[in-house]
Chains A and B, each alone.
Chain A
Amino acid sequence: MDALADTVRKLSASSRRGYQNPYEAIEWPETLNREQWFTSPELISLYGTQWWDELSDAGRKLLSFWEAVNFYSLNIAGERFLMEGIAHRLYRPGWEDVAEYLHHFLDEENKHSVWFGTFCQRYAGKVYPDRKVAFPREFADGEEDFLFFAEVSVFEEIVDRYNVTMARDERLVSVARRINDNHHTEETRHLVFGRRIVAELWRQWVDRWPPEVVEGIRAHIAGFVTATWRDYYNPDAYRDAGLADPYAVARGAWDATAAHRDGVTRRALRPLVSAGVLP
């Protein structure tokens, strides 16, 4: 953990300088006209598919609203997992050097969930439920911590690509741009921390793990990438946008948009490749 100490100090100082009151950072209109863009069209899960082609302009904008609700909902689920994991590791023996930053991490993730949850509840009246279930399993020494931070890193790297694009997209309604922009600003620090801690934990443990554990970790990360992307193709959102047979749409869109996922995934996995975790 010594190698992380300097990074942790700098990130903590940056978090303190950029501290935001989550209840003042974003102005929330009383109501929102859904005939506007809430998600960049090119990032909508049906973009480029037959279902996209069949939608009217109003239908595409309505879908962009429900895709935003889905994006924010999957972020709430991801941040809940993250906050549980961070809280579990606060001041655990051996982790004292990073505790200062874990407090900021928790604080900032909680704020993000306030923004995402406020949008979903205020304008959609709901947060889409998370379909993930964790089964208990055995881990080698160090494996659970490593997988936790590797999953967090992959999840946040993918989300950040969407945040960066939508924060700059002037077609989007202001509140959607602000949410994405604020999230990206704070996630930038989390990404740095995630990359550093994943590399550090890998360096500490990889030579102590037998080959089957290393192989299992790589397979788990591949499975996590697939599971993460599945959440972006939510039949609930398609149903709310008025599409018929939303499950068939989800399956068809998944098959039709592999190239988009591959491009984002390649970039999101670069830190794990650089650290030697993935070949």
Chain B
Amino acid sequence: MLEVEGLRTEIATEAGPLWAVDGVSFSLAAGEVMGLVGESGCGKSMTALSLMRLLPANARVTGAAVRLAGTDLLALPEAAMRALRGDRIAMIFQDPMAALNPVFTVGEQIAETLRHHRGLDSRTAWQQAERLLDRVGIAEADRRARSYPHEFSGGMRQRVMIAIAISCGPDLLIADEPTTALDVTVEQQILALLDELRRDSGTAILLITHNLALAGQHCDRIAVMYAGQIVEQGPADSLLAAPLHPYSQGLLAAMPRGPISEGRIAPIAGLPPVLFGPRQGCSFAPRCPHRFAPCETNPPGLVESGPGRTARCFLLEAGAR
């Protein structure tokens, strides 16, 4: 379905080109949910925007192949890419409060996409919009379609965003921290809805989140990102059960579990690096409790370890664990 090979995205800054995404590769099958996990600024959102080709003006993709069902997205002319957006690839954003246009009714915003991509007339598009609202679990869809975004709660708005995103039955749905702005109970409802959608329609979902536990519950596979690279990738269960990369281990140790009195949260000391150009050694080395000589000089490559699992660490390469 989706194949990404060696995606690199540079942001032009006054200090020179910043490598926001550096050689990200992964693939996603139809109906599969992959979690892209990492802390703020690790390049998760830049990866998503690179796939959509919606990067800000000062950023550009410098080398990669992104194939959606065989089509190289990065080689497409802009008009063809525009035809794909919203139709074959859709995206849900972090803040449902800001992602809906305040001056249009929600029904109108769903119908617009249908008119645009499916060429439906206004009536049919509107009826379809009502059906979609019903589909994402909004009661009294025919009445609510005529409401404006400010008349909805955050969770309802995210449902509307999902209705817009799935209106054309996309092959790939990119959900960029879809529940960060919502409270925990609503978060579970929204993720359950996404789960249901991919089971029904076979849409592949790229779930971007900073919450490793959440990714564990809702994803088939998890890719952990650090400093613009995927440092570890594997099936959700086995990755969470036994993380290979020290960074994944650190993330897991930093997660609150059980009653607070039972254990302490162990933070990862230090801050992620900002990359200007090729890296010297492992990016995580300054914060890594297990670093040894090779970490300082060469960037580690991806090492396969176990079924479907890869990680970027010299510990694995040396078999020193």
Q: Do A and B come from one complex?
A: no
List the interface of chain B (C-beta within 8 A of A): none
